[in-house]
Amino acid sequence: MLLNQPDLLSAEELQDHIRGCALNNRESQKKMYSSFYGYAMSICHRYANHEQDATEILNDGFLKVFMEIYRFKPAYTDTISSFKGWLRKIMIYTAIDHFRKNNKHKLVGELNETYMHVPAAHEDALDKISYEEIIAAIRFLTPGYKTVFNLFVIEGFSHDEIARELGISTGTSKSNLAKARKQLQKILFHHNEITHKNVV
Amino acid sequence: MWSEEIDKKLREASENPAHSYDEKSWDKMEQLLDKHLPRKRKRGGIIFLLCFLLISGTAAFYIVQQQGSAKTTKIDKTVASQPIDLSTSTEPGNAQTPGITVPAATAPGKQDAASRHQEPVLEETGRSTAAKKKRTTDPFARRHDQPVTTDRKDREQKAEAQHNTMPAGKNNNQDILADPFAASVNGSVAGHLPVSPSPVRKDTAAAVAKNDSFDQQLATKENKKPGQAPPLRGNKVSVNFSFGPDISGLGMNYTGRLKLQAGVGLSYAFSKRLTVRTGFFVSRKIYSADSAEYHPPPNFWSYYPNLKKVEANCLVYEIPVSLVYNFAAGKKGNWFASGGVSSYLMKKEDYGFSYKDSWGAPQYHHLSFDNKNHHFFSVLNLSAGYQYNFTDRLSLMAEPYAKIPLTGVGFGKVKLNSGGVLFTVGFKPFLKRK
Q: Is B192 on the interface with A (CB under 8 A)?
A: no
Cβ-defined contact of A42 to B17 (cutoff 8 Å):
yes
Amino acid at position A200, single letter: V
Q: What is the pLDDT of residues A46-76, one digit of tens each?
A: 888 888 889 999 999 999 999 999 888 877 6
Cβ-defined contact of B14 to A123 (cutoff 8 Å):
no
User: For residues B13 and B10, what is the distance between their CA atoms, to the nearest angstrom?
Assistant: 5
What pLDDT score does A193 carry? 53
Nearest Cβ partner for B6 among A38, A117, A126: A126
B363 contact partners, CB below 8 Å, separation of at least 6: B354, B355, B356, B357
User: For residues A64 and B29, what is the distance between their CA atoms, to the nearest angstrom?
Assistant: 11
* Chain B interface test: which of A145, A153, A188 (most B C-beta within 10 Å): A153
Amino acid at position B366, single letter: H
Q: Which of B27, B22, B16 is nearest to A3 (CA)?
A: B22
* Mean residue pLDDT across chain B: 71
Residues written for chain B: 434
Amino acid at position A173, single letter: S
User: For residues B268 and B62, what is the distance between their CA atoms, to the nearest angstrom?
Assistant: 9
Contact B281, B243 (CB under 8 A): no
User: For residues B97 and B110, what is the distance between their CA atoms, to the nearest angstrom?
Assistant: 25
Neighbouring CB atoms inside 10 A of A146's CB total: 26
With 70 as the cut, is the pLDDT of residue A114 above it?
A: no
What pLDDT score does B336 carry? 94
Q: Which of B270, B245, B241, B265 is nearest to B321 (CA)?
A: B265
Residues written for chain A: 200
Contact B399, B392 (CB under 8 A): no
Instruction: Residue window 36-75, chain B: list those with CB within 8 Å of chain A.
Output: 36-37, 39
Confidence band for A186, pLDDT divided at 50, 70 and 90: confident
State the DSSP code for B146.
S
**CA B211 remoteness from chain centre:** 36
User: For residues A95 and A103, what is the distance between their CA atoms, to the nearest angstrom?
Assistant: 11
With 50 as the cut, is the pLDDT of residue A149 above it?
A: yes
Instruction: Considering only residues B14 and A61, tell me which one the structure prediction assigns the higher pLDDT.
Output: A61
Neighbouring CB atoms inside 10 A of A74's CB total: 17
User: For residues B148 and B134, what is the distance between their CA atoms, to the nearest angstrom?
Assistant: 13
CA distances from residue A185 to A40, A133, A192, B228, B299 in whole angstroms, order as listed: 26, 12, 11, 112, 48
∠ CA B352-B356-B362 to the nearest 5 degrees? Answer: 80
User: What is the percentage of chain B residues whose pLDDT exceeds 90?
Assistant: 28
What pLDDT score does B40 carry? 66
Q: What is the pLDDT of residues A24-33, one digit of tens each?
A: 889 999 999 9
Which residue from A minimizes the CA distance to B7? Answer: A153
Contacts of B25 in chain A (CB under 8 A): 37, 55, 58-59
- What is the number of helices (H) and of strands (E) in chain B? 10, 11
Instruction: Considering only residues A77 and B382, tell me which one the structure prediction assigns the higher pLDDT.
Output: B382
Q: What is the pLDDT of residues B28-86, one digit of tens each?
A: 999 999 998 887 665 555 556 666 666 666 666 666 666 666 666 666 556 656 655 55
Instruction: Considering only residues B391 and B183, tell me which one the structure prediction assigns the higher pLDDT.
Output: B391
Contacts of A67 in chain B (CB under 8 A): 36-37
**Buried (b) or exposed (e) across B106-124, using 16+ Cβ within 10 A?**
eeeeeeeebeeebeebbbb
- By the 10 Å C-beta count (0-12 exposed, 13-18 middle, 19+ buried), B172 is classed as buried
> Poorest-confidence range of A139-148, A180-189, B357-366?
B357-366
Nearest Cβ partner for B37 among A19, A66, A131: A66
Q: What is the pLDDT of residues B81-117, one digit of tens each?
A: 665 555 544 444 444 444 444 444 444 444 444 444 4
Which residue from A minimizes the CA distance to B301? Answer: A70
Confidence band for A11, pLDDT divided at 50, 70 and 90: confident
User: For residues B294 and B309, what is the distance between their CA atoms, to the nearest angstrom?
Assistant: 9
With 80 as the cut, is the pLDDT of residue B298 above it?
A: no
Confidence band for B264, pLDDT divided at 50, 70 and 90: very high
Instruction: Considering only residues A104 and B375, tell me which one the structure prediction assigns the higher pLDDT.
Output: B375
Cβ-defined contact of A131 to B37 (cutoff 8 Å):
no
The mean pLDDT of B198-213, rounded to a whole number, is 52
Q: Which of A35, A34, A29 is nearest to A65 (CA)?
A: A29
Contacts of A118 in chain B (CB under 8 A): 1
CA distances from residue B82 to B125, B131, B195, B211, B231 in whole angstroms, order as listed: 17, 12, 31, 10, 23
Any idea of the CA torsion for B170, B176, B180, B183, to the nearest 10 degrees?
0
The stretches of B171-297 forming alpha helices (DSSP H) are 173-176, 182-192, 202-222
